């Protein structure tokens, strides 16, 4: 009976140790999302807008820059939307959005293609650290830029 109890205790300890290792591995799995698309990974599902910034002229919002956050994946990405500027004119991209992780400076950007009203960047691991979003757009006659606070 004594050997059974010790054996059961040893197995229970091994299970607890295994769960501890899984819990520690979580940030590493979040880091695996660095540079990936939040939609194709499923991280965009259930995401929130953690921070938001605007640039306006005469009380007309020209752009909105969002820092999007996935509680499920522990990731963040930038999204820019052209509001009062209209879509990008034909030709080259007219702006960008960048997600920037504060802890190490890692960042990913997207470009607003011609004819579009915005874009979203690849995501950064945001587990236990903070990030912010910045964006810029120039449609020829007007330009605008905005930066969110960190989250």
| Element containing residue 111 per DSSP (H, E) | strand 107-111
CATH T-level fold of 33-147: Immunoglobulin-like (2.60.40)
Sequence ranges of the domains in the chain: 1-31, 33-147
Distance CA 120, CA 75 (A): 13
- Look up residue 102 and give its two tokens: 């504060």
Residue 145 has a pLDDT of 95
Which pTM was predicted?
0.78
From first to last of its 151 residues, what are the pLDDT tens digits of the chain?
Answer: 444 343 444 444 443 434 333 333 345 555 789 999 999 999 999 999 999 999 988 788 899 999 999 999 999 999 999 998 778 888 778 999 999 999 999 999 999 998 999 999 999 999 999 999 999 998 887 889 999 999 9
């Amino acid at each position: 009976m004594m050997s059974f109890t010790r054996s059961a205790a040893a197995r229970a300890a091994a299970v607890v140790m295994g769960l501890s290792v899984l819990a520690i591995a979580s940030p590493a799995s979040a880091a695996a999302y660095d540079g990936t698309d939040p939609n194709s990974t499923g991280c965009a599902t259930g995401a929130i807008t953690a921070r938001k910034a605007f640039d306006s002229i005469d009380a007309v919002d020209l752009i909105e820059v969002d820092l999007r956050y996935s509680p499920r994946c522990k990731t963040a990405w930038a999204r820019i939307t052209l509001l009062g500027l209209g879509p990008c004119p034909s030709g080259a991209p007219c702006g960008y959005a960048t997600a920037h992780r504060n802890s190490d400076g890692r960042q990913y950007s997207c470009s607003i293609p011609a004819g579009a009203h915005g874009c979203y960047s690849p995501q950064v691991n945001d587990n236990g650290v903070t990030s912010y979003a910045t964006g810029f757009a120039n449609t020829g006659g007007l330009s605008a830029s905005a930066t969110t606070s960190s989250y």
